[in-house]
Structures are given as structure tokens and as C-alpha cells.
Structure 1
Amino acid sequence: MIRTLPEDASLLFNLQTLILSFCHRLVKLPSKMENMSNLQHLDIRGSKLIQEMPFGIKELKGLQILSDFIVGKDGAGCALKDLKNIFLQEELCISKLENVGGVDQDTREAILSNKKGLKVLELEWSYEFDNSRNEVEEKNVLEMLQPHTNLRNLTLKWYGGKRFPSWLGDASFSNMTVLRLERCENCTTLPSLGLLSSLKDLAIIGMKRLKTLASEFYGAGCLRPFQSLEILRFEYLQEWDCWETTEKKEHVETFSRLRELSIKNCPELLGKLPDHLPLLEELAISGCAQLVVSLSSLPVLCKFEVMGCKRIVWSSPSDSQSLNSMSLSNISELGNWSVQGFQRVESLKIDGCEELLHLWQNEISREKAPKELRAFNSLKNLCIEDCPNLVLFPEICFLPLLTELTIKNCYALMSLPEGIKQKNVHLESLEINGNHSLSFVTRGQLPSSLKQLWLAKCEKLQCVFTDADEIHTSSNSVIHKEKINGVNTFLERWTVISCPSLTCLSTRDQLPATLLRYLYINNCSKITTLSIGQLPDSLQDLSIYHCPKVESITGRFHNGMLLETISIYNCANFESIPEGIHKLSRLCEISIYTCPSLVCFPEEGLPSTNLRSFTIYNCKNLKALPRGMQTLNSLRLRGCPSIKSFPEECFHTKLTTLELENLNMYEQLIRWGLPKLTSLTSLQIHECQDAESFEIGMMMPASLTHLTISRFPKLKYLSSDGFQNLTSLVYLSIKNCPNLISFPKIGLPSSLMELHIYNCPMLRKQCRRDNGQEWSKIAHISCVVIDDDL
């Protein structure tokens, strides 16, 4: 939020590094920066409101890194030619170069060519191309800014000339390793970049008028253009339609070391890519609707990603022996992809292929498995996404190493393969997201290797495990029951989200035996009950969110259960917590939010061993708190108006966090006092309608570091005696106290570092920096936030 630096900052004579990056409201630097004679590194990246550099910058002879030299408009601030005398050994960025104006013969002098130590240079014009931009002048400016040939990294952004200067692409820049040409929208050709013998990373981005990569791109007469290039990126070239390659020229070896090739959003590109890329490891192409992608002479290709292209022409299997990751998305014509030899592919993603009906034809046995399935025998990760017509899925037993399977938005898929239950599969993670036809996941059991199960947005899913005599599917076929045989699985995490037809997890009283630790059910509007008998003893975290018809968790907790966390959020009909909760010796956290039907807890109370956190929000009919809260570290209670009191056992030396709401609680705190809470660090008190003063401070322990006072509509002042005792307080928040007009007369504790004031209009007026009567009491606080809109 800082707008300016104090002028005294220029007196920091010994300062070497000043970092002001992404100070979005900073409008200027100190005017006398020449006094900061030892400054070596100035970083103002992302501080876009600074319009020029102070004149004193030119005196900083030892400056080595300058993240942004901003050229002032109409001659304001330090001039571009002043850079000539600054050391600048490492990095330099010059921005707003459109403000340089005309470059006549007298001022056309070399500014950067003497800086032998400059390694990284970025030259940037503003992105607005208007009538005031002069193409010829911008070319002259770029000529004037020719760097020393020792430069290693160069970036040009928003350059407006039609051609690049002669020095760019000159073979004398033999040390340049990184070149980025971005949004040079008027340029129609590229210089001879193939002559840069050390260039390793080249990016051409947003050159709207570039149509062809022709022979000048490689360099006339060069036998080994781009001899060191390892990474090549083309992005957002809207008119580029032809890439002339050099394969037909004898004795010309191009891109001999290229490892990564990326082409994105070049909608007019036709033809084909270079044929011979012997060291290419990664190929990514997207948004090239006219391009036919051909895989040939890519012997070490490891990663292949194609999205939004016309067609893929597959090479012989011998050219894909190294391929281990493949992603195919929105391809108009997939061709014969599934019969290629991809024996080493470990990760496969197929996305947005609307015409795809089946991946591979299902077979009865491994001996009859089609050759396309045998070709993928190393597959470990398979993701099928946005294929709405997919109806058949391969038997997983034919993919023996598959560990992760994700199926998203395949609406027509009616069932998973029976082979998912085979003992010889290695499936560890299964995600089904966005399916309109699946009514259950499996009959009987999941694969024993499965560790994570994720089900989301499955509209017709009625249950996960079925053991009914018959289940009618959406195609009216009948599936006969298969008994659960009790085989253990390693399932640890199970998530069910937005399955509106789900009525139960299993049609039996018991789930298949698992090692389940985490169960999360969210937004399943038809599920009414959850049985403890169905939950494995290994369960540690039980979370039920936004299930309006869930009335209860049936059954009784018992000693052998390992539950550590119970969370129930926004379940309008939830009425009761199961009995036996006091026997959960490992239970450490209970959170219940917005359950208006909850009336009471079991009479046995809570476990008295490890329970540390207890939170109840917006349970308006809850009559009383349970017993057994003497071990708590955190107690939070809000939106429970029917609770008139809480047990005195809550006040013990272990409590560190306390949040309470309503006048009754406030009066109990005053009556009992808080000095015994010697570990209390955070206190929040809300909704005290009749309190005109806040005097609770005199009874609070000195250990308190965070205090929040909220919704005291009649509160007028804070007690001086109370706040004087809070010598450790570092954070104070005051919210929705419209009549509060002043702080304690003695001021706030000197330890306070943050003050937040929300919707306290009278106090806000008194805290104005210039003439507020309370300003002197808070001027020492390093962070003050006042906002009436929250």
C-alpha cells in the first residue's frame, strides 16, 4: 500500500540493496538518490505507477542491477543517455522507451555497448500502439541501445518497428544464450537468429504479422544454424502459415541439439514440422487447428502433448520407443493412434475427443487382448476427460501396471470394467467425475491395491458398493448380486462430492473391509443416514458437508475406533451425535457448523484424553455444551443463542484460544475472571448488545497476543486499566462497533503491531492521520487497516 518513500531514505549511505518490487501504489523514488552512493541493486519490478527515474540515479556509479529504468515522458526525470556512466555489471531493464522521442544524429550515441559486464538486458515499450508511435524512431532507438557482445540474455517487448536492427542476430553475439522477442507486432520477418552460435533458449511470442520462417531465419550460408539451441517456443503468431525447413539442403544440420519444442496458438500454420530432430525430448502443440502433426525421426521423444490440432500422423513404432508421457486433446482426427508401439508410455491423457466411442475393444481374456492393449503394457497413469460418447472401457487387467485412473465428463460410460476387481491389478487411485449414467461403482469390492477413491458429479450414482439381488441400470439391464467376500483393501481416502442421487454408500450394513482413514461427503442431497457399523475402525477423519437430509449417524462409537476429527457442516436436519463418543480416545477435534436441528450431545460427554479443539457455529437449538472439555486448547462458540451458560471446567490453564458470542457469556467471563487462563493467547468476543464499556481487559492474562471485539452496538469506550495489563498484545481487531469513539486514555499497548478497524464510523473519523484526536494513540503501530465496507 506504500505510495512514497520518505526523503530521509536517501541518507542510507551504506545501503547496498533496495527492493521495492510489486509496490503497486508506489508513485516515485526519493529525489536525492545520489546520496545512496553504495547502492548496487535496485528492484522496482511490478511498481507500475512510477513514471520516471530521479535525476540522482545517474550518480550511482556502482549500481550493478537495475530492474527497471523508466524513461520519463517529455524529458521528465533522468535521461536515457545518463545510463552510459552507470556501472551496471549484471542486469538492466529499460521500459517506456516510446518516451525517448526523436533520435537525431547528435544524440545517436552508443549507451550500452561499453558495458562489458552486463549479462541480462530487457528493453520494453508500452503495449499501446497508437498514432503517436513512430516506427522509424523506435528502430533508431533500438539501434542506439546495441549492447556489448558479451550479453547473455536479451528480451524485447512491444517493439513497434517493422524490422529489427542489424545487430540483432549478428554472429558477433556469440555469448547470447537466451533471446525472447515478445509482442513485436509490426515486424514481418525475423533476423538471422540461426547465426547465434551459443543460443540455447529462443521464444517468439505475439508477432501478429509474421507469416513465414524462411531462409534468412537460419542465416545465409550457415551449415549448422541453431547449433546450440535446446528450447524453442512459438506462441500467438496469428498469421504464421509456413515454416520452411532445411531438410532438403545437403550438408545443412539444423536444430541438432533441440530438446524442447512448443508451438501454441498459431491458427494458420500449415505444412509440417522439421523432420529430423534427433535429440527432441518434449513436443507440445496447441491451438494450431490447421496443422497436421507428424511424428517421425524423433528417437528420444519422451513427452508429447497435442491440443486443438487437425490430425496426427503416426510414425512407425520404432520412432516412439522413448515416449513415456502423451496427452491428446481436441484432435479432429486421431487416426490410428491406438495401434502404435508405445511400450514405454507411462502417462496417457485423452481429452475433448467427442467422436471417441471406445479406447480399445474389450476382450474376454489376456490371451485375446488386442495388440493395442499389449502396446501400452507400461501405462501407469490414464486420464480420459470430456469424451461424452465414450461407452466402452478396456479391461484394467490388460494394463497390469496402471496405478492412477481418472475419468472426467464421460457422460455415456455406464459401467467400469469387471477387471477392476482383479487381484493382479495395481490400481491405487480412481477418480470418476462428471458421469450421467453410472449408478454404482462396483459389485462387491474394489481392487485390493486401491488407496484413493474420488467420486464427483455423478448424477445417477445411487450407491458405491452394491450387493442387492438385482440393480436396474439406465439401460434396463439387470445385474445380479455378487457377495462381498471381505477381502481387505488399502483404501485410505474416500471423497464423494455432488452426487444428487446417492442414498447410501453400500446396500449392505457393512462396507468392504478397508484401511480407510479419510471419508469426505459433500453436497449429496438424498443421503439420509450414515451408519457407524459401515465405518471401518481405522477411520481417522469423518467430514459431512452440505447434506441437508442427513439426520444422524446411527449406531454407537466404541473403544476400538481411531477417529481423530469429526466435521459436520451445513446439515439442516442433523439431530444427534452418536452415543459412545466419550470412548473415542484419539479424538482431538470436533467442528459443527450450521446444524439448526442439533439439540444436545450424549449425556456421557466428550472424551477426556486428547480432545484439543471444539467448535460450534450457528446451531440455534443446541441447549447446552457437553461435559469433558477440560483438555481443550481451543473453544469456539458462535450463533448458539439457546446456550445460556457453559461449564466452568472450560477455564483451565491449557486453553489458548477462546471465541464466544452473546451477553450471557460475556457476563460469565466478568464474573469468573480470566487470570487463571495463563496460556490464553487469542480471545474473540462477539455480540454484546448492552455493553457500553469494555472492561474485560483488566481480568485478562498478560499472555494474550490476539484480541477481537465484534458487534458491540452500544460500546463507547475501552477500559484504560484493562489494556494497560495486556503487555504482550500484538493484534487487535474491532468490528461493527458504531458508537465507539475513542481508545483508552493511556493509549494502546506498545507491543501492538496490527490494528484492524471495520465498520466503526465514529472511531474512523477520530483516527485520521492529519487531524484525528485518536491518531497519536495509534501512530506507533506498524500496520493499521481501517475499512468501513467490510
Structure 2
Amino acid sequence: MPIEGIFVSGFVNLLFGKMTSFASSKLPTFEGIDTQLTNWTNMLSQIEAFLIDAEEKQLTDRAVNLWLDDLEDLAYDLDDLVDEFATEALQHKLKAKPPQASSSKVWNLIPHFKPRDVMFNFKMKSKIEEINTRLHNSFQQCSKLNLVKISVGTTSLETRPTRESASLPKGPIYGREKDQRKIVELLLGRDESSRNHPELCLSGLQNVVVPLDSREANLNDKEGLDVLSMEWSVNSDDSRDGTVKTEVLDMLQPHKNLTELHIKGYLGTGFPTWIGDPLFSNMAYVSLENCENCASLPPLGQLASLKKLYIKRMSVLKHVGREFYGQGGAKPFQLLETLSFKDMPEWEYWYTFEDDKEVQPFTHVSELSIENCPNLVGMLPSDLPCLNNLEIRDSPKLCGVMPKDLHYLNNLEISECPQFLVESSSNSLLSLTSIAMDDVPLTSLEAVLEMRSMVDEEVISANAKSKHPSSITSLSIGMIKKLELLPKWVTHGLMEVEELKIRRCEKLKTLWKNEARVQQSFPAFRRLNIEDCPQLVSLFEENEDEENEGQHQQQQQEGLSCKVRLEHLTIYNCEKLEKLPRLLHTFTFLQELYVSVCPSLCSFPETGFPCTLKTLHISYCEALQSLFGWITQINDNNLEVLCVQDCPSLTCLISCRGGGLPPTLKELWIRQCKKLEALLVEEGMEINCPSLESVWIWCCDRLKYLPDALPNNNNLRNLSRLYFYGCKNLEYIPEGWLHSATNLRELNIMGCKKLKALPHGLQSINYLTSLEELEMDISQWNNNFKKIGLHSLSSLKKLLISGEEEEEEHPVGSSFPIDGKLLPTSLIYLRIHFFRNLEKLSSKLFQNLASLECLRIGDCPRLKSLPVQRLPPSLNQLWISICPRLTGKCEKGKGKYWPHLAHIPDVNIN
């Protein structure tokens, strides 16, 4: 096969793997990316079906060869784009360190209104649209090139990136014929070039119905094969003879040099004898997944080099017995380091040689994970001397006790195991640094800490004075039903805790009684997350009397440490929370504060927030009326991001005592605050924000005006994005906001019916030289932009205009452009929506749009004419929706306009 075809076939498979891996990861994602990944995967699957025919024709058909070249470029660009999303997601994970539990609501909610996330989505939007356009274009070209779709689903072969080796070829393996026997011969082993391929993935094995076909794969002769993956489709016919499936798997026995084996979707009733054969002396990694008819496990304990073992979703398995260990003598699984059982609905019993102390099966296991095994009862292995990570989740019947002598245990996570008991006995957890316990008895949590020697009064006192206190740095507790207050053995015994997470503790009222002791209790405190605690009233019990305030001031004067080193605070869904700590302003390390779904919180402390705060997000706080006094010294403030969302009682952001918006502010977000009338409480107050880059204000019905800005050249000089949407009573934008709008790149004004005039900076073309994107409704066109003339906006690339707010005072003619003038020659994207009276697009519309690539027209019920002969050749996407008088004329192959549209790669008529 020519090298172009080899590359495209292999690289498309790699993209499938990368997109699937990212979509299934626990990394935080961004708005719409899951849908995009699904769409890209589906589109690539359709294109892949044409590759076999394209690979045959490329030597004799120049157009096909060029198509493959373009597809290769597209694959690289899509790969880069997926990498960008993965990198951004990883940066968020590293920065935010969200809770590990996938059921957490706060970490699912916050990304939807973080300005940085939305900005990232916005920046990537054009790249996503470009990829979508090119994918549609590539798919449309398949039919124009007369390529034939040849499905390889009968038995397909995928490849993973080959390992570096001078003696091993790196080209992917491929197949093409429909005949099952021929597929097996070509894909699995007749040619010498595939003999030493190090990694091999066989899929579609449910279609191999003759066991001898699989024998012809001759995998046993492939000495260079390191990794073998075999997959049966989960949608395959379960009624077929399970014996046939077992024989197929038996015939696919690989060479004894194999180091990794992965089996997925196998529906035989048992495993062949070669799986677990001790002659596979190099086998280090085994995974068995979706082997739903197997009632027992193979003797994997006999594999002397096995280090990683993952067993998942074996639906009928009830017992893990002696057969699992094989004839391994006194030390089966002698090198096993990682053992994981997941999604085993019927598993009830695990034999662990408790009656035979001479056999020690898991002496090297460092990671043990048991997840979603609802019927498992009994004991865990008691002898795990090297265990470093223990994770037990969603196994409600598991009522055993902790293994003993876990001297090296570093991370402990027990979740939704209400009967699992932890007994201190003679156990000790001297290396424990991270604890996560949800829905376990409070006595079990206390026992863990007792094993860590942190409950005894003398030890607590010693820890408080010691320069080398407890090593635990992370504590996460949840669903502890009787917990009303953090016990003393938590607040005084965990001197090195940096991260504390508390969730779904329904009786918790406060964390500890005296805020002055926070520093003494948690001197290393960095992150605090509190989630779903409906009875929480305050973080600390506070004394409001003057005597206590005087004592605090005296402590400060005497130089006593009253500072809390907390850097990140998140409070989510705490219905009765009424206030934040009165001394919050003394938390001079705090940089990020997130408060969401706290309907009883009506105000913030009058003493304000600390000057170190950089990010403040407030959302769904129904009683909050203002951020009163939240800045005490405006010039010392470092706030960069302010986001306020869905606070229906909020009337202003900042009172006169606060002084105004901080000069360090870069992003201002306000959304769905229905009673907000002003940003600053008093008219005439001015702002000076030279760092401000982006302003988004959405659906604030009562907002009438913005504060004046200081009239100097430095004020708001960096403003590049300005969005107003659904602010029905906004009347004007002060001149100082856009005294010099030369950096403005994106402007969106929609649904602001009373905004009659824009500042001079937006009425003069001299101030809009950088404007690239403009979205507006017809009222803004008539009030403002009609005077400017859009043709003068020399940098404009994207124009979106809507007639949704059409009323009698804003009549719209039957033709577009409305003023008959030309649009900017720089335009790439044009969208026209919701024009009820529009009947035709003027023939002059496209006269100078030589760069237009995307045209979208929607909800224009009277539109009946389209100047198809004037459409620019650069156009590669045309979408028309809900234009009933135009739809028939654009119908593929039949409509009057179709001959003029057929060359456009992406035509979508709905």
C-alpha cells in the first residue's frame, strides 16, 4: 500500500483512541466538547469506510491522491485541537484539584460559568467550526470522487503507536477483503511485514464463526508481538454457541513472549487453558472486561511476571476461589502490584487463604481497588504488607475489616460502604497522607485516625507543639450521618492537612467553635470545600461581643499569628448558611472564593474580603442583596475575576463604602440578576479599570446605567470584549467606557431595546479598527450602526444580525442589506436570523465578499429569493433553517437552486 494510505488508515485509528480516551477521562471538560468529540468520531467513522477504496485508487487517480493529502492535513489539525483541549483540561485539574468523586455537583457546575472557561471555548469556536467544515467537506468529496464504501466491520484491525525499536517496523497493519477467511489471513499473519509488529488490536471477533479461521492467524509464531488486544462487539448475537467463542479464543493463542493481554466483550462460558499458563513468563499486564458469561477466572496467579491485573464487568461471576491462584505454590501473584475489580454485580465471595497462613498471595500489591461490587461480603486479604493505595467504593454489603499492618499505606478511600468497619487493634498507618471516607460509620473514621496515633490526648498535644506533626495532608469526609461538629481529633490532630473536603453531612452545623483557633488547628491549611451540608449555619461559631473583638485586636498588636493560610474556599448547596466568617478579611492567603446555591446568605461581612483575593464567583444565592463593603482598600485589592450569576435579590454589586471596582479587574461577569439596577450603588461614582479586558452582562432586566469611567487615556484601554444581552432597561453606556476603543475586538448587543445611543467611541469608524466580531439585533442597527456603515469596518470577520426584537418602531424592509450598502470585504462568517418580513437577499450582498466562507440563514419565513449566481467561490458552508419558501428551491438534486449550490462542501437545508 502507498505510504499516504498507510498513514491515513493508522492515524485515523489513533485519533479514535485519543478522542475516546479524553472523553472517558476524569479531566474537567468545557461546554459542548463532549458533543464535538462524538460528532468528530462519527464523521471519521464514515470517512474511514471509504479509505480502503481510496487507497486502491490513489496511484491512478490524482484527485483521490489529493483528497488523501488533505485528509492527512486534517488529521494532524484535529489531533492538535484535541491536544489543546486535553492540555487546558489538565491545567484546570492541576490548578483546581477538584474532588475525585464523580457525583460532585460543584465541580460540574463551576466550569459552566467560569469566565476563563467560556473565554477558552470562545477562542476555540472558530477552530472547531473550521474542523467541522473540513470534515463535512472531506465526506462530501467521497461521493464526488466515486469512492466506494467498504466496511471493515466484519473483522477489523486497529493499531496503536509502535514502540521505538530498530528491528521493528512502524507501519500499521490493514485489511480489505469481505471474505472472513481472507480477512483473517491478511490482517492477522500471512505476510512477513506483520510478523514482528509489537502491538496488535483485533476487533469484530464476534464475526469469526469458524474456529479454524482464527487458527490461521498463527499468532503463536509472532515472537515480536508484545501487546495483544482482542475485542468482541457488545452488540453481537449472544445466542451463538459459547463453545465456538471459546475455540476462537483458544486458536488465537499468542507467542509466549507476550507481555500484555487485553480481552474485552468475550462471551464464551470459560477461558482457554493458555490464559494463565505459567509458560507466559513475560506477561506483566492483563485486563479482562465484559466477559459476561464467564463464571470463574483463569489461574492468573501462575503468571510469574504479572504486575497489573484489571477485572471489570463480569456479570455472572459469584466466587473468586482457589482456581484464581492456580498452582503458584506459597506465593501466587508474587510480583503483582496493581489489582482492580470493578462493576461485578453478582460477586459475593473472595477466597484469600485466611485458613492457610503459609500461602501469601499478594505480598507485593501496592494498589487495591474494589468498585461497585454490591453483593461482595466477607473479608479482604489480610496480608498486604506493601499496600500504598486502598480504594473501596459502592460496595454496601462489604462488612469486613481493614487489613492489618499497613505500614506503607499512603492513600485510603472508602466510599458508600456503610457496613465496612475499621478497627484500630494493633494496626498502624504511619505513612498515611490522604483519607477519603464517605458513608462509613463515624467510628471507622475515628479508628483510622487512631491507627494513625492521633486520638490520644497526649499525642494531640504533642502534635500541636511539634515541628514535625502528622503527615496527613488531605482529608475528605462525606455522608457521616451523626457529624455535627468536627471532633477534636480532627481539628487538633491533623497539623499538616492542606486540603479538607466535607460533603453530604446532613447534621453538620459548624466546623469548629472558635475561628481564632483555625491557624492553631490547621497551620498548613490551603483548600477547603464544603458541599451539600443542609444544616450548616456558619464555618465557625463566633462571639460577636466587643470584648472578643478587643481580644483579637490585642492579639494582632502583640504579633500573635491570626492568619489563616487558606488559598481556596468553595461552599456549595448549604441551605442554611447565613454568613461567612467575620474575620474573613484576615485570611490574607485566600485567592479563590466560590459560593453557590446558598439561598440564606444575604450579605458578606462588612469588614470585607482579603486584599489577596483574585477570583470571586457567587451564584444562586437567592437572598443576597449586595456585596456590601467587599473591598476595604481599593488600591490594595488584587481581584481579577468577578462572576455573579443568578442572584435574584441583588440590587447592586458594591456600596459606596467599597469605593468601586478594583483597578486590577480583568473579567466582569454578571448574569441573570433580575433586580440589579446598578453596579455601584450611587450615581456619579466612577470606575478606573485599566486592566479590564472582558465584560459580560446578561439578562439583568432592571439595569439602567453603567458607572462613569474616569476620562483618561489609560482607563479601560485593554477592553477587548463587550457583551450586553437581554438588558431591557439599559439606556446608555457612558462615554468614558469607550473613550478609546481601538482594542475592542468583539461586541455583542442583543435585546437592549432602550439603548438608544452608543458612546462616541462606537459611533466613529476611527475607533473600531480592531473590531473582528459584531453581533446585534435590528434595534441597534437602526439606532447606531446604520449611521456608521458596516462596510467601513475593515477588520470585521464575523457578523451576526438578528431581527428577533422587531417591533413597529423598528420596521425592517423586505431586502438585506437593510441600507443597501455593501458589507466589509474582510467578512468570513455571516449569520442572518429572525427577520419575519425579509423576502430576498440583495444581489449586491455578495458583491465584494470574496473571503466569505460561512453563510447561515434562519427563521426568515417570507424569504423566497437567494442570489445563488452571486455566491462567492470561497463559500464552503451554507446552512438554511426554517425558511419554508426557500427550502424546496435548495433541495439536493431537485431544487431550482441546487446546480448553483452543489459545489459547496457543506450544504445543510432544514
Q: Deviations over 1:341-382 (max 9, x none)?
A: 262111111112222222214xxxxxxxxx554431110000
Letter in 1 for 2:620: S
Out of 702-711 and 245-254, give the one that drifted further: 245-254
Out of 706-715 and 602-611, give the one that drifted further: 602-611
Is 1:579 the counterpart of 2:683 in the alignment? Answer: no
Letter in 1 for 2:794: T
Is 1:383 the counterpart of 2:516 in the alignment? Answer: no
Distance 1:64 1:537, change over 3 A: closer
CA distance in 1 between counterparts of 2:475 and 2:443 reads 14
2:534 aligned residue (411, 424, 438): 411
Which residue pairs with 2:414 in the alignment? 306
Q: Deviations over 1:387-423 (max 9, x none)?
A: 0101342342311111111111222222222699962
Which residue pairs with 2:201 in the alignment? 93
CA distance in 1 between counterparts of 2:642 and 2:386 reads 47
Q: Is the 2:475–2:497 contact (alpha carbons within 8 Å) kept by the matching residues of 1?
A: yes
Which residue pairs with 2:648 in the alignment? 525
Q: Is the 1:551–1:573 contact (alpha carbons within 8 Å) kept by the matching residues of 2?
A: yes
Is 1:679 the counterpart of 2:795 in the alignment? Answer: yes
Q: Which has the larger radius of gyration?
A: 1
Which residue pairs with 1:261 in the alignment? 368
Out of 17-26 and 427-436, give the one that drifted further: 17-26
Map 1:105-504; keep pairs closer than 5 Å: 111-127=218-234, 132-246=239-353, 249=356, 252-291=359-398, 292-309=400-417, 310-315=419-424, 319-332=428-441, 334-335=443-444, 336-337=446-447, 338-341=449-452, 343-361=470-488, 372-394=490-512, 395-397=517-519, 398-417=521-540, 423-446=562-585, 447-466=587-606, 484=607, 489-504=611-626
1:765 aligned residue (878, 888, 905): 888
2:662 aligned residue (525, 530, 537): 537
Counterpart secondary structure, 2:708: coil
CA distance in 1 between counterparts of 2:756 and 2:181 reads 70
Q: Is the 1:743–1:777 contact (alpha carbons within 8 Å) kept by the matching residues of 2?
A: no
Q: Is the 1:269–1:288 contact (alpha carbons within 8 Å) kept by the matching residues of 2?
A: yes
Counterpart secondary structure, 1:628: helix
Q: Is the 2:776–2:802 contact (alpha carbons within 8 Å) kept by the matching residues of 1?
A: yes
Counterpart secondary structure, 2:202: strand
Counterpart secondary structure, 2:412: strand
Q: Is the 1:293–1:312 contact (alpha carbons within 8 Å) kept by the matching residues of 2?
A: yes
Distance 1:391 1:549, change over 3 A: same
Is 1:23 the counterpart of 2:42 in the alignment? Answer: yes
Which residue pairs with 1:662 in the alignment? 778
CA distance in 1 between counterparts of 2:58 and 2:737 reads 70
Distance 1:238 1:57, change over 3 A: closer
CA distance in 2 between counterparts of 1:432 and 1:220 reads 54
Aligned-pair distance for 1:551? 1.8
Counterpart secondary structure, 2:761: coil
The alignment's TM-score, normalised by the length of structure 1, stands at 0.81
Could you tell me which runs of 5 or more consecutive residues in structure 1 were left unpaired when the two chains were aligned.
Answer: 1-9, 362-370, 467-483, 630-646
Of structures 1 and 2, the one with the larger relative CO (CA 8 A, separation 6+) is 2
Counterpart secondary structure, 1:198: coil
Letter in 2 for 1:378: E
CA distance in 2 between counterparts of 1:445 and 1:722 reads 59
CA distance in 1 between counterparts of 2:796 and 2:343 reads 57
CA distance in 2 between counterparts of 1:519 and 1:669 reads 30
2:726 aligned residue (572, 588, 594): 594
Q: Is the 1:187–1:210 contact (alpha carbons within 8 Å) kept by the matching residues of 2?
A: yes
Aligned-pair identity (%)? 32
CA distance in 1 between counterparts of 2:749 and 2:853 reads 27
Is 1:551 the counterpart of 2:682 in the alignment? Answer: no
Counterpart secondary structure, 1:462: coil
Aligned-pair distance for 1:272? 2.2
Q: Deviations over 1:543-582 (max 9, x none)?
A: 3322222222323444655561443322222222223464
Letter in 2 for 1:594: G
The alignment's TM-score, normalised by the length of structure 2, stands at 0.71
Counterpart secondary structure, 1:435: coil
Aligned-pair distance for 1:675? 4.7
CA distance in 2 between counterparts of 1:465 and 1:267 reads 47
Letter in 2 for 1:624: A
Counterpart secondary structure, 1:391: coil
Q: Is the 1:740–1:762 contact (alpha carbons within 8 Å) kept by the matching residues of 2?
A: yes
CA distance in 2 between counterparts of 1:358 and 1:667 reads 60
Q: Which has more helix, going by share of residues?
A: 2
Distance 1:258 1:101, change over 3 A: same
Q: Is the 2:614–2:641 contact (alpha carbons within 8 Å) kept by the matching residues of 1?
A: yes
Aligned-pair distance for 1:695? 8.7
Q: Deviations over 1:134-174 (max 9, x none)?
A: 12222111111212223232222232222210111111222
Q: Which has more strand, going by share of residues?
A: 1
Letter in 1 for 2:853: V
CA distance in 2 between counterparts of 1:37 and 1:563 reads 55
Which residue pairs with 2:557 in the alignment? none
CA distance in 1 between counterparts of 2:868 and 2:265 reads 58
CA distance in 1 between counterparts of 2:361 and 2:58 reads 49
Map 1:621-700; keep pairs closer than 5 Å: 621-629=754-762, 647-649=763-765, 652-662=768-778, 665=781, 673-687=789-803, 689-692=812-815, 694=817, 699-700=822-823
Letter in 2 for 1:628: G
Counterpart secondary structure, 2:206: helix
Letter in 1 for 2:422: V
Aligned-pair distance for 1:670? 7.7
Counterpart secondary structure, 1:85: coil
Aligned-pair distance for 1:786? 1.3
Map 1:504-519; keep pairs closer than 5 Å: 504-506=626-628, 514-519=637-642
Out of 695-704 and 572-581, give the one that drifted further: 695-704
Letter in 2 for 1:503: Q
Distance 1:56 1:290, change over 3 A: closer
Q: Is the 2:389–2:412 contact (alpha carbons within 8 Å) kept by the matching residues of 1?
A: yes
Aligned-pair distance for 1:455? 1.7
CA distance in 2 between counterparts of 1:575 and 1:247 reads 75
Out of 405-414 and 486-495, give the one that drifted further: 486-495
Letter in 1 for 2:706: I
Aligned-pair distance for 1:458? 1.7
Counterpart secondary structure, 1:382: strand
Distance 1:603 1:314, change over 3 A: same
Out of 210-219 and 257-266, give the one that drifted further: 210-219
CA distance in 2 between counterparts of 1:268 and 1:56 reads 37
Letter in 2 for 1:575: K
Aligned-pair distance for 1:690? 1.8
Letter in 2 for 1:23: N
User: What is the CA RMSD across the aligned residues, in angstroms?
Assistant: 4.0
Out of 220-229 and 450-459, give the one that drifted further: 220-229
Out of 572-581 and 142-151, give the one that drifted further: 572-581
Letter in 2 for 1:529: C
CA distance in 1 between counterparts of 2:50 and 2:737 reads 63
Map 1:76-87; keep pairs closer than 5 Å: 78-80=182-184, 83-86=188-191, 87=193
CA distance in 1 between counterparts of 2:749 and 2:474 reads 45
Q: Is the 2:176–2:183 contact (alpha carbons within 8 Å) kept by the matching residues of 1?
A: no
Letter in 1 for 2:814: A
Letter in 2 for 1:439: E
Is 1:777 the counterpart of 2:900 in the alignment? Answer: yes
Q: Deviations over 1:34-90 (max 9, x none)?
A: 848999xx99xxx9x9865589999xxx996459x8997xx7785545534255424
Aligned-pair distance for 1:179? 1.4
